[in-house]
């Protein structure tokens, strides 16, 4: 089974919401909240929609996909929902 990684998430963040030049998305961001990284709920909706489209899954609107979630939580949720065939 393939997995969704933090690197995959970072790519989606860059594509859907952009990157603040003051933040190193390639650094240790796993436990930072998206809000602390400068991403609001609108940005997270864009990221979530991109991930859903690319992977063919539906992510719930909950604490793991919002601005107060962390990349680690987001990645764990996506991996829970990935079908074994991907």
- pTM value? 0.91
* pLDDT one-digit tens code per residue, 51-63: 999 999 999 988 8
Give 18-72 pLDDT, tens digit per residue. Answer: 998 889 999 999 999 999 999 999 999 999 999 999 999 999 988 889 999 999 9
Distance CA 16, CA 34 (A): 14
- CA–CA distance, 36 with 83 (Å, rounded to integer): 31
Q: Supply the CATH classification number for the domain 6-81.
A: 1.10.1200.10
Which is more confident, 43 or 84? Answer: 43
Sorted by where each begins, the domain ranges of the chain are 6-81
pLDDT at 61: 85
């Amino acid at each position: 089974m393939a997995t969704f990684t933090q690197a995959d998430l970072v790519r989606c963040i860059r594509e859907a919401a952009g990157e603040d030049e003051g933040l190193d998305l390639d650094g240790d961001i796993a436990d930072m909240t998206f809000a602390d990284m400068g991403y609001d709920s609108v940005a997270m909706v864009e990221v979530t929609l991109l991930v859903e489209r690319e992977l063919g899954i539906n992510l719930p609107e909950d604490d793991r996909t919002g601005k107060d979630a962390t990349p680690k939580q987001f990645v764990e949720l996506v991996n829970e929902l990935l079908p074994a065939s991907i």
